[in-house]
Amino acid sequence: MPAADLTDPSAGDPFQHVAGLLREFSREERTSPVLHVRRLRPVVAFSRRDTRNPRFELAAAAAAAHGFAAHVRPVGGSAAPLHEGSLVLDHYGVDPDGVVSPHHRFTVVAEALRAALASLGLDARVGPVPREYCPGDHSVNARGRVKIAGIAQRIRGRSWLVSSVVQVHGGPALREVALACYDALGLELDPATVGTVEEEVGIPDPHTVAAAITTAYVRHGLVRPDDIIARRDVLT
């Protein structure tokens, strides 16, 4: 699997490689998971469920009007805004005995993210915030008020992907595009629930946040240090 830059320079679909990697993992029968850490150009990551919404084209146009490309991500949930201030954490692995306990993966990843954010000084908690974007029981919030991180999952055969997004900085742009897209889809969203690490504790640097998160993943036994994929400057 090739290493990736912290910021993906590709103007194409940033999720097109996922299905192939899941097939590759299943064929290789890997025993150790891999964590891929990256940042993307401005994108609204819609779900397949969003594409079935009759107002989807309106939402895609709303994203474009705010300078965000519209792409469909391969995991569940609802639309999530991403830009250079967002960390995307793709955790790949295989269950050798078949697909078991996807709920457990959600739980352990959420706790690792909570611990990482707490180590940076956030009042980090696991649980949804009312009227958040891409709502889920394993969202990680600050103070019970604003969503900082979200988690979604994809299972293909015995392979799995737990994909998380942590919002580090750039809150105003995220709130504006999220509200525009959710309004276009006819979905409820309180833009005040879209938060960032910078707004909570004054840390705007994605590298600092990435270092805290990867440390937490290792300490929680989710990945080995040698199986974290990112360019060297991600953790500096």
How far, in Å, CA of 22 to CA of 155, rounded?
8
- pLDDT of 60 reads 98
Q: For the segment 73-110, what is each residue's pLDDT rounded down to a tens digit?
A: 999 899 999 999 999 999 999 886 655 568 899 999 99
- Residues β-bridged to residue 162: 91, 153
> What's the mean pLDDT when you consider all of the chain?
90
Q: For residues 197 and 65, is the Cβ–Cβ distance under 8 A?
A: no
User: For the chain, what are the domain ranges?
Assistant: 34-235
- pLDDT of 1 reads 30
Task: Supply the CATH classification number for the domain 34-235.
Answer: 3.30.930.10
- pLDDT of 98 reads 54
Task: State the pTM of this model.
Answer: 0.91
Q: Residue 97 is which amino acid?
A: D
**204: pLDDT strictly greater than 50:** yes
Which DSSP string do the residues of 43-66 spell out, in sequence order? Answer: EEEE-HHHHTSTTHHHHHHHHHHT
